[in-house]
Amino acid sequence: MSQLNRLARGGRIDRSRRLSFTFNGKRYQGHAGDTLASALLANGVDIVNRSFKYSRPRGIVAAGAEEPNAVVQLGKTEAGQVPNVRATQQALFDGLEARSTNGWPNVQRDLMSLVGKLGGQFMPPGFYYKTFMAPASLWMTYEKYIRKSAGLGRSPMENDPDIYDHLHQHCDVLVIGAGPAGLTAALAAARSGARVILVDEQEEMGGSLLDTRELLDDKPADQWVTEALKELAGLDNVTLLPRTTANGYHDHHFVTLHERRTEHLAETAPLKDGRRQVRSRMHRVRAGRVVLATGAHERPLVYGNNDVPGNLLAGAVSTYVRRYGVVPGKRLVLSTSNDHAYRAALDWLESGREVVAIADVRANPDGELVEQARAQGIRIIEGAAVIEAKGDSRVSGARVAKVDLDGFRVAGAVETLDCDTIASSGGYSPVIHLASHTGARPTWRDDILGFVPTLVKGVSAAGGAQGVYATAEVLADGVEAGRQAATEAGLPAASVSLPRVAARRDGTACALYQVPHEKPTLRGPKQFVDLQNDVTAAGIEVATREGFESIEHVKRYTAMGFGTDQGKLGNINGMAIAARLLGRSIPEVGTTVFRPNYTPVTFGAIVGRHCRELFDPERYTAMHQWHVEHGAEFEEVGQWKRPWYFPRQVNGKTETMHEAVARECRAVREAVGILDASTLGKIDIQGPDAREFLGRVYTNKWAQLAPGRVRYGLMCKDDGMVFDDGTTSCLGANHFLMTTTTGGAAGVLEWLELWHQTEWPELDVYFTSVTDHWATMTVTGPEARKLMAEITDIDLDKEAFKFMDWREGTVAGVPARVFRISFTGELAYEINVQANYALHVWETLFAHGDKYGLTPYGTETMHVLRAEKGFIIAGQETDGSVTPEDLGMHWAVGYDKPFSWIGQRALTRPDTARTDRKQLVGLKPRDAKVVLEEGAQIVFDPNHAIPMPMVGHVTSSYYSPTLDSGFALAVVKGGQQKMGETVYLPMADGQVHEAEIVSPIFLDPKGERQNV
Amino acid sequence: MSNVATFDTRTEAKIPVESPLAYSYRRSGAPAPTGKSRVVLRERPFLGHLILRGGAIVLDEAVREVLGVSLPGEPQGLVQDADGERSVQWLSPDEWLVIVPGGEEFTLENRLREALGDAHFAISNASGGQTLVELEGEAARELLMKSVIYDVHPSQFPVGKGVTTVFAKTTVILRRPDELRWELVVRRSFADYTYRWLLDAGDEYGIGVKG
Amino acid sequence: MFYIHCPYCGELREEEEFHPKGQAHIARPEDPESCSDEEWGDYLFFRDNPRGIHHELWVHAVGCRKFFNITRHTVTYEILETYKMGEQPRFTAEHPEGRPSQDGVEPAPLREGVRA
């Protein structure tokens, strides 16, 4: 297939390497060095998409990140689908498959375009808000329809086979953009010895120097680029990142860079040296200083039907001709407000095709490029502009007329020129997106007709990014920025000798945004401002007429600058139009805020390696493998994986959770069970004031606790609300071991440090986490003592080793501390050994435990057993609004302690002291088979009109095999005074459960079972 | 009982021990290093780890007397004895990590307690709770760049430095004992995650695990 | 993502290593039991929300585990200083450019032994 727009020579493509690709199912040829866009243009593909709202045919407009139309879906395979790719940024590779994201049944014949033809009356700005908001219940239906017709691309439905990752980078100077300013900035900083990262979003570094007509040191500019890059690549202190977009500028010079490492090679990353390689990588850069050398985007002019394929940016025309050897048409009309755009006409002419005319809105253009065009015999129509493009699926002509900008009207006869391409240029907009991410509002400059970035400390801009456009000045500006950054980093300034660039005299540019038409804007042909979001000049006019005066409101009402486009081409034109309509200046109207990301970033790069089995840390105890091998189902408690229950095979069938838990519960109540309790937080507390400190952070008393004894404690915040609990053992007079809940471990340690460091630094005490050092196993049940006796040298006599004592000795030959504390209500020994020995101790227990019926149990059984005893779990019975008194734990509150401990004062505040607060109670369902839902709301009167006053909720609820009944813990208003009363739990399905308020202690209220 | 209960959690009895990575080796394997391995991982299990708390001046004297090295008083400092078997690392203005050959920790704790007498200090044994993982090889630094947020460039991370920092979604103590090696002190419960992360991120460099 | 100078570690560290702990310089009343309910409520619940300079308590959670204070501008997010417990800020709403030098004399802590 012939590439009808490909030039015989020129450009930076490799004509010896042919690549074949498909677009919308049709096969084409391109060359190595092409982008998808340049290859499509080479093949004469005019229509690349249908527009978002009006479904109008759209072609390629730009040559870089600012492309609004050619946003395609890539991917041959389902797993390889990538939406939102700009064809101008996608390097061509052999076998590439791309599709338009919009247009049904296809982009050539689109049924939706009827809507586009009918046009504005049908879909005015705010269309979605006005049409689809009522009834709200139908929004879901509307949304499906809108998405389908808008065709915003789609995500793959299969797992991505590629790998992605992050790299944490640190540098003295980050230079963003490797055009003339970025290259000299990097050279200046690098020669000073600074750690430099130079990043550029394009396939090749060099920016505008890759397609300029100018010579550097009398040689083609790209030769200088090659030399500069060679020097930079040879320096150890420089990291070059091509194909990498600086997408977000975050706080304190933290910049995220999205590097596409294999996207130019194939759909999925090819193997490298037999190993998988990273497809794209997020560099998380902490920079000392940043040089923004992001250049400028050319502004298109806003004229009638300026969206018909064949309307391009002037600079894009030059880039396609000079860099890719592609001339995207036969007959060109250029419409411009400045000299620089004349390059397009000169490049076009040199490629051997016809330049019909240049419409220059200025009265007397006289710069050097203008003179060159005149000398080439190009017709220049002065004081004029293209007011409307003719054509449907491709430009077929340009209507040109003299315009009176002050009166905003067409000032002369309209001439229709026969052409297939219209290039336009309304000047340049510095790329200020990244600077905007820092929160700094940009500043308008009349002399360059653009916003320049306002720079926070440590950031500088160079070249086009701050409105410096002449090549010689851009190169010098870069050196200055690079040198300054290096100096600020404390490094000596280095010299960079600049290449010679012939000075060029440019005429003054003229401010032109929307071009007047013979008809008023609302009745004339559509004049597009934001091509990607289908926002027209008329739309902005309607918005201002409807009273939207703030540019931020205009943006939201019209969708201008939304989404992945972020207003790269349209924002300044839109603001200028709003300003004219509102009778204000552009700086008065101001600009909207550009947000990250600059261009779309694949989720893979954002996620990096933090996915699948590395999504989140899984914390394991020393016995984890045993649990796995014994069929445990696991529950996530924080990041810990804890055995939930251990289902067994019974008669060839795996037990249900209900069956397994019932069996485990019975084992503990009737024989002996074992729980891996290693996940409990453990804090080693040492120091002469340790005891005093405990008295201040726990609600109960610690003054008398003797070495060898253990005590349960509640911790409150200073608002009097319980936030953690656990046992603390006195190891020595000045030495305690505190345990915390599994989830609370890190928080409690930080809490202790907070009080010690900020309020009570005079207390001599140290806290150190020993959670991971100890493995903890709870052996509990009536047979526990017999089992323990077989493998420990500790005297287990019930008088020598009482409930709430701890002793040290050996268990299974391993040094151990054993604690007689019980969370099950049964006789229990909690064994602590150094974790490296834990598996041996655990297995030894099983070797001896078989004859006693030793049964491993998990967290579910632990919950049932503790709830039967009315033992709370901080975070389940409590939620930050529950006091010790609400829990009925008056016994654990030391009101007469000398120091006003954390939480004490709040307990006497009127609201905290109310007697009708939600209080912990037990609930006994009237129907024993019912297991109430945790979280279910409780009412006193089920016949009350909705909304019923809700008086509490279920905090824990289980089936108890011991009671052979469902039972629950709950908080109920004034519940402690309502024993025996009935409450109701209306459920979503219409059922209403009845339950009796009872004591939260369902089993062995005197504690005789644990105290044996 | 004395004011503080010391307890030797280690035994000389022949008891099977499991390092924090024992399960990981069985589950994820341990690819042997090859000539193409640009980074090599090695666990140094069962060392003695003590956390020292107290004032720098008080502790320094005792540590010098008992260990023969001076306490690193400057933030991020890491010092070792002559043969590199024993190290002391600054963790905080009043906290140091001491790592010694396995079995020395209890004697060391007792000798330090004796030397420190009535001073206000604390010593906690953490030997069962963490393990030391070494990374060696030309790609070790880049592997760390994928994993830790801290700047590991030699200009910012010279030999003799150690920091506590974020590693993937967990934390490690990262140290540089010499020009060739990096050390990661990893918490036991996070060791498997850390190991799997290193194998995954190190695959690109042909990571090998030395037994 | 802030870049925070830990005054104890003596270097800039990534925000991921820190936890914010709310407004700085909230001292617990010395004798809680003699506080009125209103005073105690103020201590518990009422905090400033200034546009501009703000003093915040942070902890170097993944690091030295020390608490310290930050003076931060809530609009620009610029961190003007970090300082240890017991020290007073140099940059305040009254002195946004920094307090005049006091000849190296550190102001006394709010209360003996209290570093909040």
Q: Does the beta-carbon distance from A734 to B4 stay under 8 Å?
A: yes
Please check whether residue B66 is in contact with residue B111, taking contact to mean a CB–CB distance below 8 angstroms: yes
B145 phi and psi, to 5 degrees?
-60, -30
Look at residue A125 in the predicted model and tell me its pLDDT.
65
Q: Is B193 on the interface with A (CB under 8 A)?
A: yes
Which residues touch A498 (CB under 8 Å, ≥6 apart)?
Answer: A184, A472, A475, A476, A479
Backbone angles phi, psi at A325, to 5 degrees: 65, 40
| Cβ contact C64–B149 (<8 Å) | no
CA distance A741 to A731: 20
- Average pLDDT score over chain A: 94
State residue A998 phi and psi, 5-degree precision.
-135, 175
The beta-carbon neighbor of B46 closest among A617, A707, A836 is A836
> What value does the mean pLDDT take over residues B51-62?
96
Instruction: Give the Cα separation of A858 and A627 in Å (integer).
Output: 10
Mean pLDDT of the region C51-66: 97
Contact B16, A840 (CB under 8 A): yes
Which of helix, strand or coil describes residue A734? coil
In the block, tokens 């092409």 appear at A34
Binary contact (B126, A617; C-beta < 8 A) = no
Instruction: Give SS3 for A852.
Output: helix
**pLDDT score of A126:** 63
Q: What is the pLDDT of residue A567?
A: 85
Contacts of residue A265, Cβ cutoff 8 Å, sequence gap at least 6: A93
Q: Which of A759, A718, A722 is nearest to C45 (CA)?
A: A718
CA dihedral B45, B48, B53, B55 (to 10 degrees): -110
Cis-peptide into A597, omega within 30 deg: yes
Cβ pair C14:B95 closer than 8 A: no
Closest by Cα among A70, A142, A79, A65 to A102? A70
Contacts of B23 in chain A (CB under 8 A): 620, 624-625
* Domain B22-210 class in CATH: alpha beta
> Across the A/C interface, how many CB contacts are shorter than 8 Å?
73
Check residue C110 and give its pLDDT: 44
The helix-helix angle for B191-202 and B140-147 (nearest 10°) equals 120
Residue A16 CB partners (closer than 8 Å, separation 6+): none
Q: What is the pLDDT of residue C115?
A: 43
Listed in sequence order, the DSSP H helices in A78-132 are 113-118, 127-132
d(CA A48, CA A309): 9
Q: How far apart are the first and last CA of chain C?
A: 25
Which of A579, A553, A570, A584 has its CA nearest to residue A125? A553
ipTM over 0.90: yes
What is the average per-residue pLDDT within C13-42?
96
Q: Are A262 and B188 in contact (CB under 8 A)?
A: no
Distance of alpha carbon A154 from alpha carbon A543, whole angstroms: 31
Domains contained in chain C, CATH given? 3-26+41-84 (3.30.2270.10)
Q: What does each C-alpha distance from B165 to A180, B152, B197, C8, C90 come to in angstroms?
A: 39, 11, 16, 15, 29
Structure tokens at A924: 């006994």
Give the model's confidence band at C65: pLDDT under 50 very low, under 70 low, under 90 confident, else very high: very high
Three-class SS state of A618: coil
Whose tokens are 């349960």? That residue is A712
Phi, psi of A45 (to 5 degrees): -80, 115
Instruction: Please state, in angstroms and rounded to a whole number, the distance separating the CA atoms of residues A150 and A27.
Output: 26
Look up tokens 């459960």; give the residue.
A993
> Alpha-carbon distance A1009 to A828, whole Å?
10
Q: Which two tokens stand for residue A581?
A: 């309509």
- Contact list, B127 vs chain A (CB under 8 Å): 773, 834, 836
The answer to whether the beta carbons of residues A304 and A526 sit under 8 Å apart is: yes
Bond before C89 cis per omega within 30 degrees: no
Cα A926 from chain centroid? Answer: 49
Chain A residues with CB-CB distance to B120 below 8 A: 687-688, 764
The three-state secondary structure class of A3 is: coil
Locate the DSSP E strands across A361-427: 380-382, 384-391, 395-404, 409-418, 421-425
Q: Is A254–C1 a contact, with Cβ atoms under 8 angstroms apart?
A: yes
Contact A969/A877 with Cβ under 8 angstroms? yes
Q: Which of residues 77-136 of B touch A (CB under 8 A)?
A: 94-95, 120-130
Smallest Cα distance from B1 to chain C, Å: 31
Whether this model's pTM surpasses 0.90: yes
Is A636 within 8 Å of chain B by CB?
no
pLDDT in tens, B3-34: 999 999 999 999 999 999 999 999 999 999 99
CA distances from A543 to A133, A540, A553, A581 (A): 18, 5, 9, 10
How far apart CA C9 and CA B143 sit, in angstroms, is 25
Please say whether the beta carbons of B95 and B51 come within 8 A: yes
Q: Which segments of chain A have a pLDDT < 70?
A: 1, 102-152
Q: Give per-residue pLDDT as tens, B137-176.
A: 999 999 999 999 999 999 999 999 999 999 999 999 999 9
Question: Considering CB atoms only, which of C59, C78, C86 is closest to A750?
Answer: C59
For the stretch A617-620, contacts whose Cβ atoms lie closer than 8 Å and that sit 24 or more positions apart, written own/partner, are A617/B168, A617/B169, A617/B170, A617/B190, A617/B193, A618/B192, A618/B193, A619/A679, A619/B189, A619/B190, A619/B193, A620/B23, A620/B189, A620/B192
Instruction: For residue C110, report the phi and psi dihedrals to the nearest 5 degrees.
Output: -55, -40
Query: Do residue B121 and residue A707 have CB atoms under 8 angstroms apart?
Result: no
> Do residues A474 and A463 lie in contact, with contact meaning Cβ atoms separated by under 8 Å?
yes
d(CA A272, CA B156): 31
Dihedral angle computed from the Cα positions of residues A654, A656, A657 and A662, in that order, rounded to the nearest 10 degrees: -100
Contact C28 A905 (CB under 8 A): no
Enumerate the β-bridge partners of residue A297: A429
- Integer-rounded Cα Rg, in Å, for chain A is 37
Residues of A954-966 as b/e, b for ≥16 C-beta within 10 angstroms? bbbbbbbbbeebb
Q: Nearest C-alpha of chain C: how many angstroms from B71?
A: 16
Question: What is the domain partition of chain B in residue ranges?
Answer: 22-210
CB within 8 Å: C13 and B76: no
Tokens for A309, please give them: 């394929």
